[in-house]
């Protein structure tokens, strides 16, 4: 009989914690949730005040028997699932299964899985926090009601098997709205004028940019205006009219939150959100380190706080001053976001002395990359400000004005270790050197040129920029960003092109139906408001079922209204000029799980289907035929000639360009895709 039984969520976490406690303590894993709403029905008794009808998850029967046996044989049971709402709910379900009284002091949480924290937390167990549990229940039940009531409407009007989600549908809407912005964008022409100038004293050249006339800024939109200015200043002198020297400071970014970690891992490491959270979970739960055994390397990775403990602050100070010197340390406190729950610290390394390079051999490649990112970001957050010397120069050419600016890094500070990325993939601020000039000095024109440009549409969302947008709009919480994006990709409402998120035809059809018919629910403001209400439940300020009571009556009316209206609506299939080779009808475009396909409208009498072929305007660079766009199993586009393989071998990952010669022997990637397609065709023939 064990003195203590501790139940956590994963075997890795169980192994790490067991090592810290020793004695007659048993640590086992629940493998995540053990009870949930049934998949086969709504599972919420609406008439009985929204009472959820939980059942044991299929396939977990043996595990539940084992947990019950272990609990019966232990003097005391502790529930040590993750320290968030989801973890609190799992602990509550475990308590129900194991018949642990509701007022039992059985709950322990670990913000970091280190020996000190685990041992200290075990001394301070508490009751299960029903406010946190109920916040999770409110989210689960409300999402179940929305999904199970709206999804059947999609089955009737679009295709069977589709599903709608409260938050995921809003994420799809953001992506579709952005795509429409891009489609409707009308580029505007604008011009810049650049002068390459020489300082005779130092023999150094620098660049100045046209600013305006008589001190007023002018925007140039026509070539005629540019030509007039160029003609006016052709033979004029360039005279320095003002020199302003100064200093610019740049401060470090705060320690990671879940959102900022996901964004930076996407930008700097190319990780998907799902991969980032999986790798971070492993670092949190424990990695085997020589002479230390299994140890959690980072604090809990689902957090919206940048707060750090005083112990961690002191450890950072010691490491920075020892490695870089006193001048590189600065004690920093970061302002709390008004929306943050602040339940946990920011994400940081648990042991500062375990530097990434010191434990590199104990980590996988991905673990090392993410740990290094977290470690450097945290340490940099406690380092000194970077300082630049700046110079701004005004240059007059008759009545026209040019400006030049430069900066030189004087003290690198935190930038020695870490610089935050951005969505434009520019990380550092370049040193731009300008000679030391004086007012009234004439500089010599070396070159004068104009450049035509056009305004560009907004960029498509990436996983990183979508998380940033969701957080800014108050949609979702740290634990939900990754599942939201993973879900819309798995449902094929959205696909990735390079790193960009692009709505599929299916995603656009579903979004149109939902936003036109459920405008009050599938929108940013409503979704953010509901998140705030869940937070109110978590803090004990609102009763969880009241959220559902307020929401459901109007929602039910909308569902009934839409269901009646859609009875008389038929989504017409797009008719093509492709003739069915079995019955002679014109085939129509249908939308399936993997996108568009051609089907005979005579179904079920005629079940003929064909792939829907998309072609591009550019001709095949080899034979001049039509180039088709196809997709791999993973949804990646490639380009292939319509005559491949009969009389043309053109196939490429890259979209062909007019006048560009295709040389597959020089492109290793194109060689590989050719082999893949040949192998695929060979497999099909063998099966036949």
Cβ neighbour number for residue 411 with a 10 Å cutoff: 15
Report whether 316 contacts 346 (CB < 8 A): no
Q: Length of the chain in residues, anyone?
A: 688
Pairwise CA distance, residues 1 & 270, whole Å: 48
Q: Which DSSP string corresponds to 12-32?
A: HHHHHHHHHH-SSEEEEE--S
Strands 74-79, 2-8: pairing is parallel
Strands (E), 74-203: 74-79, 189-199
DSSP assignment string, 511-528: HHHHHHH-TTTSSHHHHH
Residues near 407 by beta carbon (within 8 Å), at least 6 away in sequence: 248, 388, 389, 390, 391, 429, 431, 432
Please state, in angstroms and as integers, the Cα–Cα distance from residue 69 to each residue in 62, 72, 153, following that order: 11, 5, 45
- Angle at Cα 510 formed by Cα 506 and Cα 512, nearest 5°? 115
C-alpha to C-alpha distances, 481 to 132, 168, 343, 470, nearest whole angstrom = 19, 10, 17, 8
CA 332, 335, 337, 341 dihedral sign is positive
Measured CA to CA, the distance from residue 254 to residue 216 in angstroms comes to 39
Among candidate residues 54, 78, 284, 300, the one labeled active-site is: 300
Class of residue 114 by CB neighbours under 10 A (exposed 0-12, middle 13-18, buried 19+): buried
Cα 561–562–564 angle (5° rounding)? 70
Cα→Cα distances 525→162, 473, 476, 550, 555, Å:
25, 8, 12, 16, 16
Cβ-based neighbours of 557, under 8 Å, separated by 6 or more: none
Question: Any idea which residue has 């940013």 for tokens?
Answer: 524
Number of H-type helices and E-type strands within the chain: 17, 26
Residue 462 DSSP code: B
Q: How far apart are the first and last CA of the chain?
A: 61
Residue 104 Cα distances to 30, 78, 83, 117, 448, angstroms = 19, 10, 18, 22, 80
Closest alpha carbon to 364 in 280, 239, 292: 280
The answer to whether 300 is a known catalytic residue is: yes
Catalytic site residues?
A: 300
């Amino acid at each position: 009989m064990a003195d203590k039984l501790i139940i956590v969520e994963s075997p890795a976490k169980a192994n790490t914690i067991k090592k810290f406690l020793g004695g007659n303590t048993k640590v086992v894993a629940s493998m995540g949730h053990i009870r949930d709403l049934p998949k086969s029905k709504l599972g919420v008794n609406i008439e009985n005040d929204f009472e959820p009808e939980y059942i044991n998850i299929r396939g977990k029967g043996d595990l539940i028997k084992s947990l019950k046996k272990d609990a019966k044989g232990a003097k005391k049971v502790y529930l040590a699932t993750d320290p968030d709402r989801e973890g609190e709910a799992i602990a509550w379900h475990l308590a129900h299964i194991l018949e642990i009284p509701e007022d039992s002091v059985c709950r322990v949480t670990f913000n970091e899985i280190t020996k000190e924290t685990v041992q200290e937390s075990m001394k301070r167990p508490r009751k299960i926090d029903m406010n946190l549990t109920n916040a999770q229940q409110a989210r689960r039940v409300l999402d179940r009601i929305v999904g199970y009531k709206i999804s059947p409407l999609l089955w009737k009007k679009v295709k069977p098997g589709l599903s709608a989600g409260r938050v995921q549908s809003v994420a799809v809407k953001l992506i579709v709205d952005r795509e429409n912005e891009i489609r409707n964008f009308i580029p505007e022409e604008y011009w810049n004028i650049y002068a390459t100038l020489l300082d005779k004293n130092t023999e150094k050249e620098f660049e100045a940019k046209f600013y305006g006339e008589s001190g007023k800024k002018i925007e140039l939109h026509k070539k005629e205006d540019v030509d007039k200015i160029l003609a006016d200043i052709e033979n004029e002198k360039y005279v320095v009219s003002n020199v302003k020297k100064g200093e610019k400071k740049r401060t470090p970014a705060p320690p990671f939150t879940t959102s900022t970690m996901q964004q930076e891992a996407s930008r700097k490491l190319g990780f998907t959100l799902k991969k980032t959270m999986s790798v971070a979970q492993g670092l949190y739960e424990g990695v085997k380190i020589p002479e230390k055994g299994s140890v959690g390397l980072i604090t809990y990775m689902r957090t919206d706080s940048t707060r750090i403990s005083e112990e961690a602050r002191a450890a950072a100070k010691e490491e920075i001053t020892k490695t870089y010197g006193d001048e590189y340390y600065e004690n920093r406190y970061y302002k709390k976001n008004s929306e943050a729950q602040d339940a946990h610290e920011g994400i940081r390394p648990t042991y500062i002395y375990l530097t990434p390079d010191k434990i590199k051999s104990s980590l996988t490649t991905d673990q090392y990359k993410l740990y290094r990112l977290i470690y450097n970001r945290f340490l940099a957050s406690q380092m000194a400000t970077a300082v630049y010397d700046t110079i701004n120069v005004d240059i007059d050419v008759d009545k026209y004005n040019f400006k030049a600016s430069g900066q030189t890094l004087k003290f690198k500070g935190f930038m020695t270790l870490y610089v935050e990325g951005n969505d434009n993939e520019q990380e550092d601020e370049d040193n731009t050197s300008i000679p030391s000039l004086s007012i009234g000095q004439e500089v010599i024109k070396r070159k004068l040129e104009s450049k035509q440009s056009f305004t560009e549409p907004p960029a498509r969302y990436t996983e990183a920029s979508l998380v940033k947008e969701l957080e800014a709009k108050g949609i979702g919480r740290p634990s939900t960003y990754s599942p939201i994006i993973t879900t819309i990709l798995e449902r094929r409402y959205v696909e990735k092109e390079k790193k960009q998120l692009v709505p599929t035809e299916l995603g656009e059809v579903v979004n149109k139906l939902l936003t036109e018919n459920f405008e009050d629910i599938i929108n940013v403001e409503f979704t953010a408001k509901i998140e705030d209400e869940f937070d109110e439940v978590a803090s004990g300020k609102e009763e969880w079922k009241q959220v559902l009571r307020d929401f459901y009556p109007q929602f039910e009316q909308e569902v009934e209204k839409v269901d009646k209206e859609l009875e008389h609506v038929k989504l017409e299939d797009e008719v093509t000029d492709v003739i069915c080779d079995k019955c002679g009808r014109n085939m129509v475009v249908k939308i399936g799980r993997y996108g568009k396909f051609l089907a005979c409208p005579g179904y079920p009498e005629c079940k003929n289907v064909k792939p829907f072929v998309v072609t591009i305007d550019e001709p095949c660079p080899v034979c001049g035929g039509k180039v088709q766009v196809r997709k791999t199993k993973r949804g990646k586009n490639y380009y292939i000639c319509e005559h491949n393989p009969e009389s043309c071998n053109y196939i490429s990952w890259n979209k062909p360009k007019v006048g560009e010669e295709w040389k597959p022997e020089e492109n290793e990637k194109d060689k590989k895709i050719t082999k893949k397609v040949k192998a695929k065709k060979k497999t099909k023939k063998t099966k036949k």
